[in-house]
Structure 1
Amino acid sequence: MIELLTFDFCEMSIYSNYVVVVMKEGVNVIPEYNEVLIEVTDTYYKDKPFVYITHRVNSYSVDPKIYFETAKIENLKGFAVVSKNYKAKVNAKIEKMFFNKPFEIFRELDEAISWAELLVKSK
C-alpha cells in the first residue's frame, strides 16, 4: 500500500494500480464525492491507468448518477464491487448499467485485485 486516506464518508487505500474504497456505514454516496475521487486520482494516478475497487463491508446507498461522472475520469480503466451480500450484489448489477467501462462484481477482494492488475496491464 502506498497510502491510507481517511475521509468523513470513506477510507481509501491507495496502491500502484488500484484504489480500494470502504464507505462508512449508512453513507449516501452522492455525485459531490466524485470531487474527492478526482483529487485523489489527480494526486496518485496522474496520467497512469488505475481501477477503482469498492469493498462493500458496510451498508450504504449509491446515487447511480454518480457513475456518469466517475466514467469521465479518463485514466480510470475499470470499476469493481466486492461483496458477499446478496442485496449489495443486486444493487451493483443495477449500478453497472450506468457505467460505460469494465465493471465487475466479486465475492472476494483478492479476486478484484487480480482483475484490476490484469485490466491495467492490458491497457
Structure 2
Amino acid sequence: MKFEQSKYFKTIKHFKLVMPWGNYYLYEKFVVSELDHGIHFDWDKTKLLLKELIEFYGDNAKIGFISNRVNAYSIDPQNWSKVQKEHNLLLASAIVIYNSSTYLNATLEKHFSKTSMKRCNSLDEAVTWITGLNELN
C-alpha cells in the first residue's frame, strides 16, 4: 500500500519531502520513505537525503525510519552502516516487504545495520513498531 493511501497520511501531521528519486514523509519521530521504481539508491543519494533530514530534524535528532518498499529498486546495503557511522541519526528502521525478493534484500541489509531493523509485512506493523519503541518516546 502506498503511504498516501494509508490512514496515517490523513490523520497524522507530516511534511512531504519530494526528492528526484522518491518521496519522504517526515513525522515528529520518524520518516517513511517510498522510492521510485527502478532507481539505485547509492551513497550520493543518501548524503543528499541526510542533508535534508538534518536540516528538518536538527543535528542531534534521533529518529526512526520506515522504508515502504512498494516499488522495485536497488540499494547499496552498506548505506546503513555509513549513515550510522557518520551521522548516528537513526535509532531503528523498519522495512515493509511486499514480496520474497524484497524480503531477501531486507535480510541482507539487516546484516549491515548496527541498529535495530525489523522486516514488516504491512505499513501498519511498521508504524506500530516504530512508534512503540521506548527510544523514540
Q: Note the C-alpha offset of 1:54.
A: 0.6
Structure 1 residue runs of 5 or longer lacking an equivalent are none
Judge conservation of contact 1:21–1:55 (CA < 8 Å) in 2: yes
Matched residues in 2 for 1:97 and 1:69: separation? Answer: 13
Q: 1:63 aligns with which of 36, 56, 76?
A: 76
5 Å-filtered alignment, 1:23-102, equals: 23-46=35-58, 47-72=60-85, 73-102=87-116
The letter of the residue matching 1:74 is N
Q: 1:101-116 alignment to 2 at 5 Å?
A: 101-116=115-130
Distance 2:114 2:107 in 1: 13
2:52 and 2:96 map into 1 onto residues whose CA distance is 21
Paired with 1:63 and 1:50, the residues of 2 have a C-alpha distance of 21
Task: In structure 2, give the amino acid aligned to 1:36.
Answer: L
* More displaced stretch, 34-43 vs 52-61: 34-43
Count how many residue pairs are aligned between Structure 1 and Structure 2: 122
Stretch deviating more after TM superposition (65-74 or 76-85): 65-74
**Farther off after superposition, 11-20 or 109-118:** 109-118
- CA-CA distance at 1:103 after TM superposition: 0.5
**Could you tell me how far apart the structure 2 residues matched to 1:50 and 1:87 are?**
27
**Equivalent pairs: percent with the same residue?**
25
**Structure 2 unaligned spans of 5+:** 1-12
RMSD across aligned positions (CA): 1.4
Q: CA deviation at 1:94?
A: 0.8
Q: Does the aligned pair in 1 maintain the 2:54–2:61 contact within 8 Å?
A: no
Whose helix proportion is higher, 1 or 2? 2
What is the TM-score when the length of structure 2 is the normalising length? 0.82
> How far apart, CA to CA, are the structure 1 residues paired with 2:124 and 2:55?
25
Shift of 1:18: 0.6
Q: TM-score, normalised by structure 1?
A: 0.91
Is the 8 Å Cα contact of residues 21 and 36 (structure 2) preserved in structure 1?
yes
